Every structure is written in structure tokens, then in C-alpha cells.
Amino acid sequence: MSSHDRSHVERVVKLARYIAIKEGADVVIVVTAAKLHDIARGEKNHSLKGAEMARKILSDYPEEFVERVAHCIAAHSFSSGVRPETLEAKVLSDADKLDAMGAIGVARAFMYAGEKGRSIEDTLKHFEDKLLKLKDHLYTETARKIARDRHEFLVRFYEKLKEELSGNV
């Protein structure tokens, strides 16, 4: 099992489809990109490598479609440095971020910590550096609405864990 396993991809596809419909994005492009978004997971700068791989996988499709999907993949990562330029890329980026928030986000953060041999304190640092900032990097109104409850849960969990680690009973 991995924090970026098939079930993560399936959740991102489901979220992306929902957001795409609500926001009026091209659902076929969004779903195709969501299914392929972590294809290069484990590679350095997986989003750019994934976009390259998607171009090859989708080479029989029209070039415009392939490039729109590839852009979504290249721009989906919080840390890729590629800014989403299309609504479809924004939708995928938001869906991927939402899966890192809430109860699932907490579970995935600790799964990832286990995969990497990180401590609880290191994982709290990950909350500070990334997870607690995700809500401020969402593009669509639909994602921002979904994020409210998920973000509140992250904050409550983070604060409670810090309290317990400090020795307060």
C-alpha cells in the first residue's frame, strides 16, 4: 500500500469529475488527466515526467487533446512550479489537493511518513509546510467549499497532536 496508490487516483478522479461538472470544465480532459496524474510517481518532478509519459500513451489522440491533458498533469503538483493555465488544469490541481486534506489527508500523511521512515514530528512539519496551506492554493469555488470542512479537521488534528506531544494531558 502507498499513500499515492490506486485508491488515491480513484478518489482524485471522482473529485475531479465532480468539480469539472460543477465548474463547467471539459470532463473528458479532466478525467483522463486525473487517471494519469501520478503515472510517474516516484520520479524526480513526477508531474513533468508524467506529462511526458501521457503524451506517449495518448499519441493516437488529437494533438490538442493530448496537450491539454499533458498540461493538467504537468500543473497538478503543489510543488511542480507549473501554474495551471486552463480550467481543466485548475480542477485537477484542486482535486489532488483535496485528497491531501481532511481525514483522508491525515491518513495519507502518516502512510507517507511510514513509507519514508519519518517521525511524528517530521510529519507535523509536513502539515506546517504543505497541508495547512493547501486551502489557500485552490482555484475553484467548488473546491474551496469542499475544503472548508477538510481544512478545519486538519487544523483540529494538528493542534491536538501538538498538544499531546507537548506532554499536556
Residue 118, C-alpha cell as written in the block = 519519518
**pLDDT tens digits in sequence order for the chain, 169 residues long:** 554 557 889 999 999 999 999 999 999 999 999 999 989 877 788 899 999 999 999 999 999 999 999 999 999 986 777 899 999 999 999 999 999 999 999 998 998 888 888 899 999 999 999 999 999 999 999 999 999 999 999 999 999 999 999 886 6
**pLDDT given for residue 3 in this prediction:** 47
Q: Which domains does the chain have, with CATH numbers?
A: 1-169 (1.10.3210.50)
Residues 6 or more apart from 11 whose CB is under 8 A from it? 99, 104
pTM summary value: 0.92
